[in-house]
Structure 1
Amino acid sequence: MLDLSVVGEGHDPAQAVRDTVALARSAERDGFRRFWVAEHHSFPASGSPAPAVLLAHLAASTSTIRLGSGGVMLTNHAPLVVAEQFGVLEALAPGRVDLGLGRSPGGLPAVARALRRAPQEPGDDPFPALVEEVLGFLGSGFPADHPYTRDHVHVVPGSPDLPVWILGSGTTGAQVAARFGLPFAAAYHINPEQALRALDLYRAGFRPSAALPEPRTIVSVNVTCAPDEAEAERLATAGAVMMMRARQGIQAAVPAPETVADHSRTPEERDFVEGWLGTVVHGTPATVRASLAGLHARTGADELMLTSLIPGRAERERSYALVAAEFGLSARLGNLSA
């Protein structure tokens, strides 16, 4: 599960964070294997700007489920700080922490400036070098003549066995993951067509590493499950309208389904909403199961990671619980390791 700490219309963002804690506990009870949290800045629809902080609390609130970042936006952070933060998390929850790294700024250009990101030259992508530095701090080390080696810069507490995933909604992340022999999480829920292409590029270019002899993939997908089809579409449409408004430059919380039902849309807006819903797996448990099985067959993913833009926590929790029950997750996944 990838939880975005969804902020619904009229809801308190602080409550959205507390809802994430409750969802992590229910995900553990329902048998989900992983629970990842996002990094979004200055985004009214998400209350999750600081994944390491949130994960520390989740580690204390759960006992078995794997916890991770989906992801840490590495261009916002010094690699040493990321390695230190996740070293602490690994010490708090040994064997339960995943570090997912992304290259997006996690917000609009003005947000990137507020995060004090250095201006980039056209065509310059610092992400591969930043990933390499994180890996060096986590355990792969640096060359003998490297300043960090010479000056004895290292991470305390260390975490050489911490799994590192590369995230991507396009092909750049896939190429970086393949180059370093790391597992890859494809953001199908953001860009389905590019995610499918990225998976092909990742597998074709994969170089085995000490950490990973063969390609390993997660595919994330937006899912809305409800007892009947009409209810599922009503809930899924709320997220579609939020995304439509974001594309129009309107940053807002996820609207309530009642608000969406009363909203008159232009033909262009209707086309966007219908197109977005086409990327969301939604329906009854049986419908969702069939759609997820089809996506699994199409992508060859080792794992599917479910996410949701349902604005209400109760409906979002019910959606995940219905999927868990349909797949019998409690019996099959509760005791699986990394």
Structure 2
Amino acid sequence: MRFGIFLVTGRFAGQDDAAALRRSAEAVVAAERAGFDDVWLAEHHFMPYGVCPSATTFAGHALGRTSRIEVGTAVSVLSTVHPIALAEQCALLTTVSGGRFRLGVGRGGPWLELEVFGTGTARYDHGFAEGLDLLLTAMTEDRAGAAGEHFSFREVPMVPRVPGIRPPVVACGSPDSQAVRLAARRGLPMLLGLHADDEEKARTVAAYRALAGTGGAEPAGGHVSTVLCQVADDPEQALRQVRAALPGWLGPGLDAHVPVDGRQRGKRDPVAYTERLCAIHPVGSPADCVARLREGIRRTGISHVIMLVEATGAPESTLANIERIGAEVLPALRG
């Protein structure tokens, strides 16, 4: 089993962006000290939901401040970056870190960055498969070129070349999503998000296995499941901590997702969403969290779990949460 933390780097009420970034940077160091296996960094643009605009840049900083823990992106948005540039960054970070970097990619959403960065809705709507295949070629071959609908350029050598680089993890939503089909047919591991409960994650894994046609064998590296984890002395205390802070972040954060072309988007009530997250994820005493995580691993079949540990937003509380999970939850799970 593997256990990591997941950092969205949200701007909570009363904070500025620098405070949020410092909180996450210190959380990386605390996670290594607490015995976690890895840390995964999100990226967002133009919104308080997450104030890290480059997960690979933040990963470079995190790798420089640590010596053992692995660092991944959850995720680098493939719809707003050139696959060749992302492959180069992945090779660079893998090399200088001694293999501690892990790339995660996703399609992202139809948000304003498609306009700002010039990649456009056509590539978001129809180009994810082409971009993913180009990324895989650039990560695994000595040279890469393209003559497709969204990418066209002469063949170039891939430098630095890193033989045996680990395949990317692909963010996947519902069991019938395009991302699940693409990941399964290319043998790539999935990253399953906070919104899904254990039953939905289990259905997604089952759909992946059916599409992959591998008889149930897992892809190299294995799938990754994201949960929210908040530890306190008792369940009520943990719930109070999350309820006091999470809606104030989720409300303005989720509202800041602006579609680039006026298309409709679903909206979540921040209080209701907070209650759902508390209901489906490990929020409670150490014993409660151990039991809930064990059950999630059993039901989903995914033994690599990464935990959102910033649910209170406060730096001191975040670091204390990481320390308690490392001291009181991880040993019981591993034992």
Q: TM-score, normalised by structure 1?
A: 0.81
Q: 1:281 to 1:202 in 2, by over 3 A?
A: same
Matches within 5 A, 1:16-31: 16-31=20-35
8 Å Cα contact 1:32-1:330 kept in structure 2: no
Q: Which runs of 5+ in 2 are unaligned?
A: 258-268
Equivalent position amino acid for 1:132 in 2: D
Counterpart residue number, 2:160? 157
Q: Secondary structure at the match of 1:101?
A: strand
Counterpart residue number, 2:119? 117
User: Do residues 60 (structure 1) and 99 (structure 2) align?
Assistant: no
Equivalenced residue count is: 309
* C-alpha deviation, 1:160, in angstroms: 3.4
Q: Secondary structure at the match of 1:32?
A: coil
Equivalent position amino acid for 2:250 in 1: M
Q: 1:65 to 1:231 in 2, by over 3 A?
A: same
Counterpart residue number, 1:42? 46
8 Å Cα contact 2:49-2:256 kept in structure 1: no
User: Do residues 232 (structure 1) and 238 (structure 2) align?
Assistant: yes
Q: Alpha carbon RMSD of aligned pairs, Å? A: 3.1
Equivalent position amino acid for 2:74 in 1: G
Q: Deviations over 1:115-143 (max 9, x none)?
A: 32222289x43112111101101114679
Counterpart residue number, 1:128? 129
Counterpart residue number, 1:260? none
Q: Secondary structure at the match of 2:157?
A: coil
Q: Secondary structure at the match of 2:306?
A: strand
Matches within 5 A, 1:1-338: 1-105=5-109, 109-120=111-122, 124-140=125-141, 151-163=154-166, 164-170=168-174, 171-187=177-193, 189-192=194-197, 194-206=200-212, 216-237=222-243, 238-244=245-251, 246=253, 249=255, 271-308=272-309, 309-329=311-331
8 Å Cα contact 1:87-1:155 kept in structure 2: no
Q: 1:136 to 1:215 in 2, by over 3 A?
A: same
Equivalent position amino acid for 1:40 in 2: H
Which range moved further: 76-85 or 149-158? 149-158
Separation (CA, whole Å) in 2 of partners of 1:86 and 1:167: 17
* C-alpha deviation, 1:78, in angstroms: 0.4
Q: 1:285 to 1:332 in 2, by over 3 A?
A: closer
* C-alpha deviation, 1:153, in angstroms: 0.7
Q: 1:194 to 1:244 in 2, by over 3 A?
A: farther
8 Å Cα contact 1:223-1:307 kept in structure 2: yes
* C-alpha deviation, 1:197, in angstroms: 2.8
Separation (CA, whole Å) in 2 of partners of 1:140 and 1:213: 20
8 Å Cα contact 2:146-2:155 kept in structure 1: no
Separation (CA, whole Å) in 2 of partners of 1:143 and 1:76: 19
Counterpart residue number, 1:255? none
Q: Deviations over 1:252-281 (max 9, x none)?
A: xxxxxxxxxxxxxxxx87655433432332
Equivalent position amino acid for 1:115 in 2: F
Q: Percent identity?
A: 23
Which range moved further: 141-150 or 8-17? 141-150
